[in-house]
Structure 1
Amino acid sequence: MTLSTATIPELERLHQQASHWQSLAPRERMDYLQAMKSLARRHASEWVNLACQIKGIDPQGGWAGEEWTTGPLGLILKLDHYLYALRHEAVPPVPRWRSAPTGQAIAEILPRNWQERLLWFGVKAEVWMQANQPPSQGSAYRNPPPPGVAVVLGAGNITSLCLADALYQLVAANRVALLKMNPLLAPLTDCFRKICAPLIEAGFLEIVEGDAALGEALCHHPLTQHIHITGSHHTYNRLVWGETAAEQAIRKARQQRQLTKPITAELGNVTPLLMVPGEWTEAELIYQARQVASALVHNASFNCIGAQILVTAAGWPQREAFLTALKAQLQEIPPRPAYYPGAIARYESFLADYPQATVLSPAVEGTIPWTLIEGLTPTANPRIFQEEVFCGLLAEVQLPVNDAATYLATAVPFVNERLWGTLGCSLIIDPRTEAAHSEALEQAIAQLRYGSIAINAWVSLAYGLGCTPWGAFPGHTPAAIGSGVGVVHNSFLFDYPEKAVVRVPFQLAVTPPWFYGHRSLPQLAQAVMNIYTGNPLAWFSLLTAAMRG
């Protein structure tokens, strides 16, 4: 008997409860999620301390704020959005609809209310629907899939990510779920089981630990109906097409998958930041340099949307000033522990291919220094355009243009056609340039083939909000999987989302929570968690933390 046909008790228990989960009306599921929200707040300190141990972070130091925002706060925000959807019978009302220049329906989903207007300081989020598809919601409730189990293969970087993926299967896809923890995050398993106890005790969720062999067995098991992966396209190809590159090529040529079950996946990206040329003040240059630096150094750059390609205009008069400001920012930031397996070898391999790179921080054992490659052209060694770096290395490519209109017309096809992946991108544009080129900007947003686009922010914000769909731009196939297929989060339960667009003022009055060096990020995160778990007095703490940041 092989593992794939062996009795796996966790799958058996879930299989027995799959029909029961689908029999619950949306409002009947709310108690489980409400209890989880309270438990996430109760165990938040334990969660953060364990995450800091895994990543080599001082739990009382400045970097710990990242673990508060992307850990328990990230989960609580997603739970709150899902509760909103369930409260409205899986068809949550959209605050406003409008049409894109292409005729596509656009749902403006954030802010929903006065609370979110205060919390998000001018941030707005919208979801573009796929062309020629209805703007429908909640089809998994109107036409539920056959009762079954979804296996979620968890990621090993952002700690709330695996729980969010499992929740999506339960709430949006209407399936019970088994979450297999990434071995790197295994120390969090017991904490997560405590937070998810309401769902686990009811038989709707299981959390297990194990190696790659267990993951493969779970995926091939006859009781598994659906699979979701967050990780590498290499992992996806090994699972779907075979262990070796040669076997994968043969199977793809024959269109003979070794795993034929439905699979959704989020598989990374070569993430661009498009810097639209304009005339910026010195304060704006420094602010945006800090924004780009933050997109590189967050989580030691072990992010699927960590900054990788900075797209500038060669004729931008302030290009050199901006790069000087960026280098000054990175030189001030200490290198971080390279906790992710294989990162140092990968960094050294890229450094060998790009010897002109400038190392901007001191060499410290067990870390990767912040590194910038300047002055690449679109015809440079394409490896940096086609392979995810997943470490603290940023490359600048200059396009042969001078003005904003020509830049937008050139940059969009460059990132669409030359860079690997379609998960997310950022576009930075000052309000004066935006006002002068508003039509060209909207055309660029419409043409960008990315699942998430952030205007004047690092695109991780689209992930962190918890309400917008998160996943690759539609169109990838199993044989050419790219950044993946399907979405997660998507708390408005849209059936046919194409892309999320998050719009942020060019320069916020307070330090954004995704900026490195925020002086009160743990306090800010805890205040927001307290607000979302029913403590209105936390607004004062939030205001204090925001002003101190």
Structure 2
Amino acid sequence: MTLHRQSVKGLNLSEIDQALEELTESSQSEVGLSVARRIELTEQCLRCLSQAARDWVDLACQAKQIPREDAACAEEVLAGPVSVARFLQVLLLSLKAVKDDGKPRLPGKPELKAGEQIRVPVFPTSGIYDALVFYGLTAEAWLKPGTTTANLFDLTRLESSENSALPLTLVLGAGNVSAIPATDVLTKILQDGERVLLKMNPVNAYLKPVFERSFAPLIDAGLLRIVNGKAEVGAYLVAHPAVERLHITGSTQTHDAIVWGSDPEERRARIESNQPLREIPVTSELGNVSPWIIVPGHYSEKQLQFQAENIAASIVNNASFNCLATKVIVTSANWPDRDRFLTMIEQKLQQIPRRYAYYPGAPERWQRFAGAEPDDREYLPWRLIRDADPAQSPHLFQEESFVCVCAETALRAESVSDFLERAVEFVNQDVWGTLCATITVPDAFRKSDHAILERCIGKLNYGAVGINHWPALNYAFMTTPWGGAPGATLQDVVSGIGNVHNTYFLTDVEKTVLYGPLTLFPKPVWFPSHPNPEAVGWRLLDLYTKPSLGNLLRTGLTVALK
């Protein structure tokens, strides 16, 4: 380690080296991580998480300058400890099923569709009252063609690690949503059977103390260490010989600099010769220019209003610092309600208070993507750009802005089905990324042209698809595997390689598809106009840390009925 440290002059690396040494020594002294041990650790983490959750949210609201009485605090509850508690709970259910029955218990029977592709029900989850809490929503995982019911599950990482040393993985955590680095770590340790060094992103390094409290059982077991540091520390860790695997959540630019080198000429040469800086496995989740397709047709006023707020919620959540925030709306030029619907979205946005632009570089990115100087560089305005032309403004479609600017573009088509086919081709070819996409569909078309809709879903080159609902739910439900579409490589990584949250241990997932009606009643807890979202969020935390009928009733029977 001394020789390696000499390459990073001027940095105090004693804490970093100590963390690596402790993980390495633990790996050498102990082997194996049985299913029973994983169950024990998962249960312990749930207890610790419930005790740290309030401080977790307080720190996040303080860092993002969200007043504690503001409804936006609910986002930090839901996208922080609630999401992590849900991950631990659904994983616990699967691990217990594996221990008792040899395999996870699915919430429904897999079906072979179109004669070649298995679709596996993955939501609502049994055992935690999902069918009541999220009434009307379902999700399934589409497995790659060729997968059979005989090889539905991949439990090799549960089995192989029981009698072998656990590899040391470096997780470079995301800086925007607090559940991301947490569930990335939990996936790697409790599912994949790896030891993890988590380097916090400088943007949310303030979470290190609550992470250490929440995941103290993993730290005590020698499976986890958490460190802070800027890019130089990250570069030091990536190059460290003790690191055997790497997981990155961030941007493609960061990924390519880490994998191929920060110097542009070196990077180009290494990519061409396929010589990465380290010959180790790399997984990643790297963002998206997330599209939302509006299929033309008849919608009721209630359906239009709901879908307008649905899209607005997807834009403003976390001040739009989300890889799954809607950035492109695709409409039909021939749809009579197009202008009225876009006006509805703008009206919804105007009703939502601006958020503090906490993520570095946001004002400069807003100016570039909006094409104007913001009237307030700290509290950026929500911006919808109508009639954007991919030829005139390619950056709106080909670059992830990571800021609260959304573009709308219209396509011409001879029929509704022709529009949907064209829209799918457009987002596949002209919009960057493969992470997630949404389609809003009229009830009449969904009923009469179901086969066309299903064929178009199959054609979408995205890892997560939402029908009538924001794919953030695909992320949050935790039984729906999350990641970019298969086929990415280190040379052309697009939205990333691999997936997380595959808590049913499914083999060869191609995409997850979320289905729901055009409206939910009453208002979803993730909508900005929900009257009491934070209280519901805390009750959900109680439900996921201690599932019981009593805790279900305390949520108001269901989130939807609150």
TM-score (norm 2): 0.92
- Indicate whether 1:65 and 2:74 are aligned: yes
**Cα deviations by residue, 1:521-549 (Å, 9 ceiling, x for unpaired):** 11111111112222532223311784686
Amino acid at match of 2:113: A
In structure 2, the partner of 1:81 is 90
Q: RMSD value over aligned CA atoms?
A: 2.0
Deviation at 1:406, TM superposition (A): 1.0
Deviation at 1:445, TM superposition (A): 0.9
In structure 1, the partner of 2:276 is 257
From 114, 125, 132, give the equivalent of 1:101: 114
Q: Find the aligned partners of 2:29 and 2:96 in 1 and give their Cα distance.
A: 19
- Indicate whether 1:366 and 2:378 are aligned: yes
Deviation at 1:22, TM superposition (A): 5.3
Deviates more, 1:14-23 or 1:29-38: 14-23
In structure 2, the partner of 1:435 is 447
- Indicate whether 1:455 and 2:472 are aligned: no
- Indicate whether 1:3 and 2:5 are aligned: yes
The alignment of Structure 1 onto Structure 2 pairs a total of residues equal to: 542
**Cα deviations by residue, 1:110-144 (Å, 9 ceiling, x for unpaired):** 12337110111121111111222442322212344
- Indicate whether 1:231 and 2:250 are aligned: yes
Amino acid at match of 2:159: R
Deviation at 1:108, TM superposition (A): 0.5
Q: Determine if contact 2:521/2:561 at 8 Å carries over to the other structure.
A: no
Deviation at 1:197, TM superposition (A): 0.7
From 22, 27, 36, give the equivalent of 1:18: 27
In structure 1, the partner of 2:158 is 141
In structure 1, the partner of 2:10 is none
Q: Find the aligned partners of 1:507 and 1:497 in 2 and give their Cα distance.
A: 28
Matches within 5 A, 1:347-496: 347-352=366-371, 363-401=375-413, 403-496=415-508
Deviation at 1:21, TM superposition (A): 6.9
Deviation at 1:18, TM superposition (A): 3.2
Residue 530 to residue 20, structure 1, CA distance change in 2 (3 Å): farther
Note the residue ranges of structure 1 that are not aligned, 5 or more in a row: none
TM-score (norm 1): 0.95
Q: Find the aligned partners of 2:380 and 2:479 in 1 and give their Cα distance.
A: 33
From 219, 229, 234, give the equivalent of 2:238: 219
Q: Determine if contact 1:521/1:545 at 8 Å carries over to the other structure.
A: no
In structure 2, the partner of 1:120 is 134
- Indicate whether 1:132 and 2:146 are aligned: yes
In structure 2, the partner of 1:312 is 331
Deviation at 1:391, TM superposition (A): 0.7
Residue 21 to residue 454, structure 1, CA distance change in 2 (3 Å): farther
Q: Find the aligned partners of 2:158 and 2:552 in 1 and give their Cα distance.
A: 36
Residue 434 to residue 400, structure 1, CA distance change in 2 (3 Å): same
From 183, 202, 221, give the equivalent of 2:221: 202
Residue 28 to residue 147, structure 1, CA distance change in 2 (3 Å): closer
Q: Determine if contact 2:132/2:557 at 8 Å carries over to the other structure.
A: no
Deviation at 1:439, TM superposition (A): 0.5
Q: Find the aligned partners of 1:533 and 1:519 in 2 and give their Cα distance.
A: 24
- Indicate whether 1:55 and 2:89 are aligned: no
Deviation at 1:461, TM superposition (A): 0.7
SS at 1:512 equivalent: coil
Deviates more, 1:375-384 or 1:513-522: 375-384
SS at 1:41 equivalent: helix
Identity of aligned residues (%): 33
Matches within 5 A, 1:266-305: 266-305=285-324
**Cα deviations by residue, 1:90-122 (Å, 9 ceiling, x for unpaired):** 731223101232611111021233711011112
SS at 1:224 equivalent: coil
Q: Find the aligned partners of 1:19 and 1:209 in 2 and give their Cα distance.
A: 25
Note the residue ranges of structure 2 that are not aligned, 5 or more in a row: 8-12
Q: Find the aligned partners of 2:134 and 2:187 in 1 and give their Cα distance.
A: 23
Q: Determine if contact 2:133/2:560 at 8 Å carries over to the other structure.
A: no
Deviation at 1:372, TM superposition (A): 1.1
Q: Find the aligned partners of 2:27 and 2:95 in 1 and give their Cα distance.
A: 18
In structure 2, the partner of 1:169 is 188
Q: Find the aligned partners of 1:488 and 1:278 in 2 and give their Cα distance.
A: 36
In structure 2, the partner of 1:191 is 210
In structure 2, the partner of 1:537 is 550
Amino acid at match of 1:541: R
Deviates more, 1:156-165 or 1:507-516: 507-516
Q: Determine if contact 1:472/1:483 at 8 Å carries over to the other structure.
A: yes
Deviation at 1:387, TM superposition (A): 0.1
Q: Find the aligned partners of 1:128 and 1:548 in 2 and give their Cα distance.
A: 30
Amino acid at match of 1:430: P
Deviation at 1:337, TM superposition (A): 0.7
SS at 1:193 equivalent: helix
- Stretches of 4+ moved more than 4 A in 1? 4-7, 19-22
Q: Find the aligned partners of 2:168 and 2:86 in 1 and give their Cα distance.
A: 25
Deviation at 1:315, TM superposition (A): 0.5
**Cα deviations by residue, 1:400-425 (Å, 9 ceiling, x for unpaired):** 12532111111111111111110011
Q: Find the aligned partners of 1:333 and 1:462 in 2 and give their Cα distance.
A: 24
Q: Determine if contact 2:283/2:497 at 8 Å carries over to the other structure.
A: yes
- Indicate whether 1:37 and 2:51 are aligned: no
Deviation at 1:376, TM superposition (A): 2.5
In structure 1, the partner of 2:518 is 506
Q: Find the aligned partners of 1:68 and 1:4 in 2 and give their Cα distance.
A: 42
Q: Determine if contact 2:133/2:558 at 8 Å carries over to the other structure.
A: no
SS at 2:244 equivalent: strand
Residue 521 to residue 200, structure 1, CA distance change in 2 (3 Å): same
Q: Find the aligned partners of 1:540 and 1:163 in 2 and give their Cα distance.
A: 28
Q: Find the aligned partners of 1:223 and 1:529 in 2 and give their Cα distance.
A: 37
